[in-house]
Amino acid sequence: MRVLIIGAAGMIGRKLAERLARDGRLAGREISELTLVDSLEGPGITVADVSEPELVEARPDVIFDLAAVLSGEAEADFDVGYRVNVDGTRSLFEAVRAAEYRPRVVFSSSIAVFGPPLPGTIGDDHASTPATSYGTQKAIAELLLSDYSRRGFLDGVGIRLPTICVRPGAPNRAASSFFSSIVREPLNGKEAVLPVPETVRHWFASPRAAVGFLVRAAELDSPALGERRSITMPGVSATVGEQIAALRAVAGDEAVRRIRREPDETIMRIVSGWPGRFDTRRAHELGFRAETSFEEIVRVYVEDELAA
C-alpha cells in the first residue's frame, strides 16, 4: 500500500503522517511507502506543487489531498485562492485520471461550504451556499470529486472538517483563532483574548479526531458511499460559554481568569454567519467518530500536546 499526503507540512498533515508511520498500516494493508509532499519545506517533505502530474507517477493507492490556501488568504487574494484550491485540485484529479488506475482520493473539505441563512441544525441534505471564497472553492472541489468518482476516474471521499480545536501553536490572524486560543493559552499559563459573547455556538473536533476521519475515509468501502462523495464530519456543538466551562472543569478557575474579554465587531460579524450544529447521521452510519463533549476535546489537547 503506497500512501501520498499532499499538504503534509500543515498541522493536520503532520499529525496524519505521524499516525500512519506509527500504525504502519492503512485500510487493513501494510504501508510500503509513505510520501509527504507540500509546497512548504518540512522534515521528510518533498517540496512540490499540488498540480504536478509527477505526484501520481508512483501510483499511490491512497492520496490524501490536504493542500489548500486557507480562508483568510483566499478572501484576501481572490486569484491565488482559485488557482490553488480549484485549479490545483482539478489538476491533481486530471493527473489521476490520466494515470488510469482509480486510487482512493481523500479530500479535506470544510463546513465553510455552508453559509447563511442556516437552520439551527444542519442536515446531510442541506444546500452548500458558502459565504466566503474559500468555502466556494471547497464546494467546487467537492463537485469535481463527485463527478470524477462517478465517471470512474478516481474513487473519492470528501470530508467536511469541523473547526479544529484545540489547535496547537500560537494564535494566528484567522477569525476562528480565538476558539482555540481561549483554551490553549490559559492551559499554557498565558492570557487569551475573547472577541465574541459567550452565546456564540460553533462546531468542533480535535486534531486527533480529524486524523481519525482521514484514516476512516481511506478505508471506507466505495459502495457504502453511494452517490454522495462528500460527508459532513461529526463534531461537538458548543457555545463559547460551554468551552469556558470545560476549561474550568479541566484546569480550574485560575485558568479561566486568564481569558480577557475584548469585543471585536468585525470578528463577531464574521462568526455570526457560521454554523452551530449539524445532524451528521450519514457520517455516523459510515463509522466516523468525534469527541462527545468539549471537555473531552480539552483533555485530548492536554494528552496530545502537554503530557509529553
Catalytic positions, please?
134
Least spacing, CB of residue 119 vs a second copy, in Å: 8
When binding is defined by CB under 8 A, the residue of 71, 89, 136, 206 that contacts a second copy is 136
In the complex with a second copy, which residue's Cβ is closer, 131 or 245? 131
Closest CA relative to residue 51, chosen from 9, 15, 6? 6
Q: What type of residue is 99?
A: A
In the complex with a second copy, which residue's Cβ is closer, 122 or 211? 122
Q: What type of residue is 110?
A: S
Does 130 contact a second copy by CB under 8 A? Answer: yes
- Which range touches a second copy (CB under 8 A), out of 60-68, 112-120, 182-190, 288-296? 112-120
Least spacing, CB of residue 114 vs a second copy, in Å: 10
Q: Grid coordinates standing for 38?
A: 507540500
Local structure of residue 28 (DSSP, 8 states): T
Got the DSSP string for 195-260? -S-TT-EEEEE-HHHHHHHHHHHHH--HHHHTT--EEEPP-EEEEHHHHHHHHHHHHHHHHHTTEE
Residue linked to cell 465517471: 151
Region 141-160 residues binding a second copy, contact defined as CB under 8 A = 143-144, 146-147, 150-151
Contacts of 87 (CB under 8 A, 6+ apart): 51
Residue 265: φ, ψ to 5°: -60, -40
Does 140 contact a second copy by CB under 8 A? Answer: yes
Does 133 contact a second copy by CB under 8 A? Answer: yes
When binding is defined by CB under 8 A, the residue of 13, 115, 186, 234 that contacts a second copy is 115
Least spacing, CB of residue 37 vs a second copy, in Å: 25
Interaction site with a second copy (CB under 8 A): 78, 115-117, 119, 124-131, 133, 136, 139-140, 143-144, 146-147, 150-151, 226-228
